[in-house]
Structure 1
Amino acid sequence: MEIHVSLDIYRGSVVRMLRGDPGSVKVYSRDPLAKGLEILDRGVKRIHVVDLEAAIEGRAIGKHVLSLVRALKDAGGFVTVGGGIRGIGDLDAAIDAGADRVVVGTAIYRGIIDPFEALERGADRVVLAADARGGLVVHSGWRISSGFTLNEILERFSSMGYKLFLVTNTERDGSLSGLDSVFVSSIPPRYRGYVVYSGGVQGIGDLEILAKEGFRGVVIGKAFYEGLIDPKDLASLER
């Protein structure tokens, strides 16, 4: 299973939020590059960079975030980036910065980016965000409902050729409350090999469950920063 450590950037710092609420910000570092390099030095292979300001405020991805992507890639990391992909130009800019994968959500759900045009960049490179709340997929900083259930989104876009989905349980994001077993089991097994899961992970046991259930990967954040997951314990689960 792929294990990605989240590097969420907000106001120039590495932070975590509770359920995406800017009022709940906890700062872990004022130097994103130093923190990213530290994560790589601790044996983590994959970093998931998010421009939270862009995601929350509806702006395009920041140049400072693209520079961070390039630096982490040059340091040997496998880098995914999301937040602020407002048009096809932003998608291409992220790829040009060296991102191995780029997460797109709002721009596709709002019809700004044609999903087939995005997919031309590679099914192994473009990740569709499927952030779930109250049974429906939400976008625009988790404020607007798409009107579709998670499984409807997985079915619709996988039929188009999408092979990568970032599924976030927004109601547990940053909570350290553990996996929602009902939510996890509701994702059909036939799609789990396409899904990188996020939301509520509190320890290595949650990762073992996701690996056993056949998920492609997982994004961990607060559990890593709070020392609840030791990178040394990840080797047996990594692929």
Structure 2
Amino acid sequence: MIQSSDFFIHFWGVRGSIPVPGNETVRYGGNTSCVEMRIGGKRLIFDGGTGLRVLGKSMLKQMPVEAHLFFSHSHWDHIQGFPFFIPAFVPGNCFHIYGAIAPNGATMQKRLSDQMHHPNFPVPMQIMKSDMKFTDVMVGDVIELDDIRIETGPLNHPNSAIGYRVTYNGKTVVYATDTEHYPDRIDEDLVHLARDADVLIYDACYTDEEYYDEKSPKIGWGHSTWQEALKVVDAARVK
């Protein structure tokens, strides 16, 4: 959790690929990607992994609720919590949902709906009675929510992904997961997105040793290392 007087960040899920419960995951938690930001009286949510289910349970005490949900992409670990997001089933709640159109032409609305089709899930998305408003996003788009500015940039990940730069009241947080570094150069698109940010949330799935392991290398898998994160921080002058 990161908090200032007007900028609150809560990590509800930071795992990749699959949720992993157990004693060995207590320190960082076992849920997949979901980050909440409360800024200027608005609630922004980034990705809908299994952490979204836990966030949803906490929101039940505050209803009716309105939130803006931004998806980086639609691999399972970023959408698998959405069918279990209880506030989406409750009339009177409102969710503005943003995501890119997939390379095959599928909108975010279609992809979220498809994962809930029979026989994959017992109920369809249409049973969710909250007011859901979908917006298609392209790399380079800028979204303004009153005094909050959200810029978008490309991430290096299979099937593509979007990173988000959130600025409010002179403070900036960049959400950049999932992404893979380039072996021979810095990712200039990412450096541009993260330039002078106060906080960079970056994909550090592996260590360098795991990434370059001779027996089981992770090159081309779409993820990065904490050592590469430091290079981006230095190049972008992240505070």
Regarding TM over 0.5, the answer is no
Greater relative contact order (Cα < 8 A, sep 6+): 1
Shorter-chain TM-score bucket reads 0.3 to 0.5
TM-score normalised by structure 1 residue count: 0.37
TM-score normalised by structure 2 residue count: 0.37
More helix by share: 1
- Greater Cα radius of gyration, structure 1 or 2: 2
